[in-house]
Amino acid sequence: MFRRLPRWVLALPVALALAGLSACGSGGSGTSSAPASSASAAGGGAKEVTVFAAASLTETFTELGKSFEAAHPGTTVKLNFGSSAALAQQIVQGAPADVFAAASPATMKTVTDASLATSPTTFVRNKLQIAVPKDNPAKVENLKDLTDPKVKVALCAEQVPCGAAAIKALDAAGLKITPVTLEQDVKATLTKVELGEVDAALVYKTDVIASQGKVTGISFPEADQAINDYPIATLAKAPAGDLAKQFVDLVLSQQGKDVLSKAGFETP
């Protein structure tokens, strides 16, 4: 015999269904959300942009990274500094990154040859100086002084852009140096001078400036024949493509040029 169910039982499924629709139709903030495709196009997806940059860009890109974060609330700029050659290899081997700023076209070519970067743009140039301790114990005055076997010299390794530039400068001068150490990036090379472990090193002018008086820089004419161009590019497989393009735009903007020029970089 058929029994009439209580009214609260009949109403329960309807109430649950309405509750489900309500939950699906509201965002976490309590306002209606845009379709997924619209949110993605508006940059609502990725909130972190990863930038691989040459060690010599440490100070300038750190400053620009903070400016970028201030202009993009909720976004984090993750900076990875090191030897351009090492960073290029990491990218080729699959390291996730959005932007690559290299200290030489040769290291950028490693990435573009693997079809992993698009349309690199040269944004600054840099030249070498001789860095010596403030008291200059070896009395170094010019490039030829570095050939004295009594003078302990640090150089970047040959495969590193600052090392390749040093070789060009020495070849231009017709000189040969026997370094006591070969370092994997320009910051490590400069540190040897700052710690007093060597009498001199060939590093970038910008790194001498960034040392804030810890070392003295000595210019030499052959440096003009070993200037390094710095290219920057968004990466083809960038997880945060839109943010990557915006970061590159900042570097190329007047604000970026001002920061880089103040640090001693030259306009290409």
Confidence label for 46 from pLDDT (cuts 50, 70 and 90): low
* Residues 50-108: tens digit of each pLDDT: 999 999 999 999 999 999 999 999 999 999 999 999 999 999 999 999 999 999 999 99
Domain 46-125+229-262 belongs to what topology?
A: D-Maltodextrin-Binding Protein; domain 2 (3.40.190)
Give domain limits for the chain.
46-125+229-262, 128-225
* Residues 1-13: tens digit of each pLDDT: 333 334 433 343 3
Contacts of 129 (CB under 8 A, 6+ apart): 202, 203, 204, 205, 208, 217, 218, 219, 220, 223
Confidence label for 14 from pLDDT (cuts 50, 70 and 90): very low
CA distances from 248 to 104, 110, 113, 148, 206 (A): 17, 19, 20, 44, 20
Domains 46-125+229-262 and 128-225 share a fold: yes
Residue 37 has pLDDT above 70, yes or no: no
pLDDT at position 43: 41
- Architecture per CATH, 128-225: 3-Layer(aba) Sandwich (3.40)
* Residues 114-155: tens digit of each pLDDT: 999 989 999 999 999 999 999 999 999 999 999 999 999 999
